[in-house]
Amino acid sequence: MQGDVEIRAARLEDCERLAVLFHALWPRTSAEEHGREVRSLVDGTAKLTMPIAMLVAEAESDGVVGFVEVDLRSHAGGCDPAQAVGYVEGWYVTKEYRRSGVGARLMTAAEEWARGFGCREMGSDAVIENEVSLRAHAALGYEVVDRCVHFRKGI
């Protein structure tokens, strides 16, 4: 399966499929809202303060089957605060392509992108209950640097 998958920068024609994958990863937001966000990221109209890349895994027979959204941050937990860090904002591979190396190839491409900006470290996060993501990160050499519970109160 891995041989027929290309890792590349997202294109405008990928936006509809990416919105579906974003919704699969972040279901609290509608696919339509994700679609607007994805389009602005891919077409360069998003108002951002740091560079960002949207990379996709495209299978010859199935189209876009995964993505990684990576950007630069001025700091990230557990990383050297003296320099910018590459940061994985989102990483998703469809179930049919998991455990085939596609996710690892997406992360390698994200790391290469960050290295191109002089980054020497990558940061990422996952919700504490997402055991699949936690195991996948660990398998790629990412180490847990903090566990955090976020609170909210309406006032």
Domains in the chain, ordered, with CATH? Answer: 2-139 (3.40.630.30)
With a threshold of 0.75, does the pTM exceed it? yes
Query: Which pLDDT value is given to residue 30?
Result: 94
- Listed residue (152, 146, 149) closest to 76, CA to CA: 146
Q: Whole-angstrom Cα distance, residue 13 to residue 35?
A: 12
Query: Which pLDDT value is given to residue 150?
Result: 77
Per-10-residue mean pLDDT of the chain, 155 residues long, equals 83 97 95 94 90 95 96 87 92 95 97 96 91 93 87 87
